[in-house]
Amino acid sequence: MMIAFKVKALICQGKINHFKRHLLLATTNHRCRHTKSNSYKLLSYRPPDWASQLQMIPLVKVKLFQPFTPIHKWSLPNIPDDVDIYIKRDDMTGSVLSGNKVRKLEFLLGEALATGCQAVITCVGVQSNHCRTTAVAAKQLSQVQGVTDRFDDVILTVGSGGTAAGVAIGNFLTGSHLRVHAFAVCDTAEYFHSHINETLNSIGLGDTVRSHDIINIHEGARGLGYGISKPEELEFIKTVAQQTSILLDHTYTGKSALALTNELRKHRSKIKGSRILFLHSG
């Protein structure tokens, strides 16, 4: 959860009321320009056609990162011979603002700036990438290519549900035939399905599709618990770094990548594709 302050007014990322939307509309025209006194450029946001009918669409954003992160083949250890793994490098969104969290911060901080907020407070879990990225982005704002390869399945890590909801809903809206899989590093599959269903309801898709229809959530990545590592998990992270030069962390991507290899070897029917894209969320 992120909260932005303007004098005594609170703005919470989770809910956008009608007053706030009108305020944002009224201030956007005055702020969507670059001036000598501002070190940022507040940009009007227009969603792609496939998302234009959703509710609660952001109106503004700020430029914080390089969105077109690379995709390349990944020689992950212990993968069946009939499977090709690819990795999307959202750990390379920028030299400082690495990780996928910065994607939503472009909208959240853009909204905070458009409404004149002067401070941001964020509430997160232990070892949070979001916390670090928010602090860096807020400090920056106070001072100053597409892929043609086709994949069968996309794999990501789910710890709070935001990325899983965004990828699954975007995949559904674009009519993509990708199968989306999320490996949970905490909580249960039903918990995350409930969160995604809440998101679908909030953007006006609740009567159109449900979470179970657009994403498979696997529970095999939790291990001993959130942020708690087993020796084999740490050994896997070390092996991947040595053999592929890809750095995984022990809370999120390390656990989900190991769970993926186990699933492909032991439960091949759950992930059927031979061309798989792993989203490295940084």
Active site residues per annotation: 128
Structure letter (DSSP) for residue 137:
H
What's the sign of the alpha-carbon dihedral 170, 268, 70, 157? positive
What's the sign of the alpha-carbon dihedral 234, 237, 241, 247? negative
Structure letter (DSSP) for residue 77:
T
The answer to whether residues 32 and 42 touch, using CB atoms and an 8 Å cutoff, is: yes
Q: Supply the DSSP string of 124-170, one letter for each residue.
A: --TT-HHHHHHHHHHHHHHH--------SEEEEEESSSHHHHHHHHH
Rg (CA), the chain: 20
